[in-house]
Amino acid sequence: MTFNYQAEQLHAEQCSLERLAQQFGTPLFVYSQQAILRNWQQFAAHWPAPHKLCYAVKANSNLAILQLLARHGAGFDIVSGGELARVLQAGGRAQDVVFSGVGKSHDEIAYALEQGIGCFNVESAAELERINDIAAAHQVIAPVSLRVNPDVDAQTHPYIATGLKANKFGIAMRDAKAVALKGQALKHIHMRGLDCHIGSQILTASPFLDAADRMLALVQELRAEGVAIDHLDMGGGIGIPYQHESQPDIASYLHILQQKAAAVGGLTLLLEPGRAIVGNAGVLLTKVEYLKPGEDKNFLLVDAGMNDLIRPALYQAYHDIVPVRQASGAASALVDVVGPVCETGDFFGHARHLSAQQGDFLAIMNAGAYGFTMASNYNTRPRAAEVLVQGDQATLIREREVLEDLWKGERLLPEERT
């Protein structure tokens, strides 16, 4: 266990979280290198070359984390030109990057081509034409895979389900053949493969395996039409336990996928895991500002807000909240843990049993994925600092924002004429 109590103090590896909170201030994201690499190995150990793992940058895009993963052989899945720039800045290679995303702009496509992107995951016939035109202007051939919507129910929160017909993502199954043949005919497109991504925080293998069956059938259909398909990207989406959910069996999912693909033959497989790599490797540390007894409820006001971690507000997501110092002396009470932002939705947990008093630190668990990357400056709050721990070493990997950062680029009006 990466986060555990030693002498009643919660630690990340060998670092006391109380000490980190005191040293770097709160709110503070703390990540464990050991946990990230252990999660990475859970995939890498069962995914022999030529198959590839492309870490989904949107889950946590801190340069140091991208650098760490690049050093361990990661490719990357990106959804914007900005994410590509981050990967390159962190020492990743463009050829190891797949570019997903439903609305790639002209400039993003041009930038990706200039850098030598590994593959575009194309979401529509119109995007295919746009990529072809830009590739022609650059006198290059664009490697392309078609993102198909396999129409399976991922059984997850509706905001993070992406593989149903009703979602905006991907090309409909019934149109895939026509778009693939079009791609085949376009001079500056190299049709490489197919991809899908059915959603996120999925806890059982069956939706993935249903999707794989449908995608493999399509591979065969397209090959019969003369489209050379040599890669299949099954996206990300493997969930983690936040509460009492059971951990999906990653090794067995990866093995079954490979068996299914081997039966069809000639396919390099790709996966785009995000949350499963970083989710449980990070916590958000926060300080108790006030205890506020209410008429119906008791509130524990903390210094982190929904601008730091929006998942509870946006998805009613559950995150465990634990005291950094056990047995602080305070009596256990039933509390709502809420932030300082002026929104009723600014909460981290309802009806939690916690014993804490003013000045105590709490850890909001499983905050490594979609925590900092979804943070904002709402209420003119500087974004938190980030620290990466390795053993007893803690490295500041992002400074806390200062107020001047927040109005950088804003302009006052000229003097008013009298």
Q: Are 197 and 147 in contact (CB under 8 A)?
A: yes
The reply on whether position 56 binds ligand LLP by CB under 6 A is yes
The reply on whether position 276 binds ligand LLP by CB under 6 A is yes
Among 207, 274, 312, 323, binds ligand LLP (CB under 6 A): 274
Nearer to ligand LLP, 193 or 273 (CB): 273
Nearer to ligand LLP, 28 or 56 (CB): 56
Among 370, 385, 387, 394, binds ligand LLP (CB under 6 A): 370
User: Which range, of 83-91, 110-118, 233-241, 405-413, touches ligand LLP by CB under 6 A?
Assistant: 233-241
Residue 218 DSSP code: H
66, 250, 308 from 28: Cα distances, Å: 19, 30, 9
**Phi-psi label, residue 237: left if phi above 0, alpha if psi -120 to 50, beta otherwise:** left
Nearer to ligand LLP, 281 or 394 (CB): 281
CA distance 268 to 229: 10
At 110 the three-state DSSP class reads helix
User: Which range, of 5-13, 127-135, 230-238, 322-330, touches ligand LLP by CB under 6 A?
Assistant: 230-238
Q: Are 88 and 65 in contact (CB under 8 A)?
A: no
User: Which range, of 186-194, 206-214, 270-278, 328-336, touches ligand LLP by CB under 6 A?
Assistant: 270-278
Number of other CB atoms surrounding residue 76 within 10 Å = 28
Site string for ligand LLP, 280-319 (x = CB under 6 A): -------------------------------x---x----
In order, the DSSP letters of 231-263 are EEE----B---SSSPPPP-HHHHHHHHHHHHHH
CA distance 205 to 249: 8
Site string for ligand LLP, 145-164 (x = CB under 6 A): ---------------x----
342 catalytic residue (yes or no):
yes
CB of 221 vs ligand LLP, minimal distance in Å: 23
Residues classed as catalytic: 342
